[in-house]
Amino acid sequence: MESLRDIRQEIKSTKATQQIMLTMKMISSARIRKAQQMMLDGRPFAHKMAEMIDSLRKDIQAPDSELRKNSAYRFFDNTDTAKNSVMLILITADKGLCGSFNANVLRETLKWLRANEEKEKYIFIIGKKGRDFLKRLKIPRLHIIGELIGIFPKASYAHATMIKDAILQAGTKYNISTVHLIYNDFKSMASQKLVSKDFLPFDFDEIEGDKDLSDITFEPSMLAVFLVLIPRYLGATLYSVLLESQAAELAARMNAMESASKNAGEIVDNLSVKLNKVRQATITNELTEIVSGANALN
């Protein structure tokens, strides 16, 4: 049987852990308001940028489009691109204690790696958990071309620009056919949605907007406009994705810490009951010994 001292020490340790969890929950709760507002503010811009490209779909895909002659056209059609090189943008958290947030992303990453086993895989990692996970793997034809660690919960457009530049450079250098995204999307304070989708080539079917716009005249040319528009679209979309993942992480950590704190409280209650039982048993044994000793003297 455990001693009273051991049980009291266990209760003290559990209460200390519970206090840490409550503190982490409060920190996440305070940060998520700002992260959620940043996420909501970033959505319209990213959506309008995508709508702008989608509204010009016919001009982009026209057989006589001057964009077809430029390397930028690979962002809209990869039929002429070699299929043996693919790229992944992986977004995880820098820390744990956020439920299944990281596990879901890493599990999906393994599926992507298996699906592209025979291809050259180029990965840009955001988040320490994803970096540590991939560096432990011994997978052939896997190349980590960049990483961003410690940017959450202060992700900025500058970080999105760094990822965008890596995509543009890798696309040309390694003749990338597809850029894939894996991250957690913020749905509500109680749930996050795992997203695994092709980021490039651009998927026109994803956008819901006004697609019946009148003809547009480009100055100085359509090619010049698109060469400016494409990087802006990539940066805006990636920034929106970073903000979604940031808010989802904070919400997941807040929920995980709330659940863990509740479980710690239940453990303390059970230990308190156990403490009382052990103390009562100790008192009963002592009384029994006293009565037995008194009877022996008589």
Provide the number of structural domains found in the chain: 1
Q: What is the CATH number of the domain that holds 103?
A: 3.40.1380.10
Work out the percent of the chain whose per-residue pLDDT is above 90.
34
Q: Is residue 250 part of a domain?
A: yes
Q: Are 258 and 65 in contact (CB under 8 A)?
A: no
Integer CA distances (angstroms), 244 to 37, 99, 121, 142, 237, in order: 10, 17, 25, 27, 11
| Domain-embedded: residue 282 | no
- Residue 82's pLDDT band, with cuts at 50, 70 and 90, is low
pTM of the model: 0.82
State the Cα angle at 277 between 271 and 282, rounded to 5°.
Answer: 125
Average pLDDT over residues 137-160: 91
Whole-number Å distance between alpha carbons of 66 and 61: 10
Residue 81, in any domain of the structure? yes
Is residue 228, in this structure, part of any structural domain at all?
A: yes
pLDDT of residue 151: 93
pLDDT digits (tens, 9 = 90+) for 229-242: 888 888 988 999 99
- Res. 289: pLDDT tops 60: yes
297: in domain: no
Write the CA distances from 166 to 120, 125, 169, 170, 202, integer angstroms. Answer: 16, 11, 5, 6, 17
Q: Residues 79-107: what's their mean pLDDT?
A: 88
| pLDDT, position 216 | 64
Give the pLDDT mean for 256-268. 90
The stretch 37-48 carries a mean pLDDT of 79
Query: How far apart, in whole angstroms, are the C-alpha atoms of residue 172 and residue 165?
Result: 11
Lowest-confidence pick of 10-19, 54-63, 181-190, 260-269: 54-63
Q: Name the amino acid, one letter, at 296.
A: A
Domain range for 243 = 22-256
131: nearest Cα among 144, 116, 115: 144
Residue 175 included in any domain: yes
* CA separation for the pair 211, 92 (Å, rounded): 35
- 265 is a domain residue: no
Q: What is the pLDDT of residue 1?
A: 60
Say yes or no to pLDDT of 212 above 80: no
The per-residue pLDDT for 147 is 94
pLDDT tens, position by position, 3-16: 888 888 888 899 89
Q: How far apart are CA 22 and CA 141, in angstroms?
A: 44
Predicted pLDDT at 196:
94
- Would residue 57 count as lying in a domain? yes
The pLDDT confidence band at residue 213, using thresholds 50, 70 and 90, is: very low
> How does pLDDT run across 166-181, given as a tens digit for each residue?
998 888 888 888 999 9
CA–CA distance, 263 with 265 (Å, rounded to integer): 5
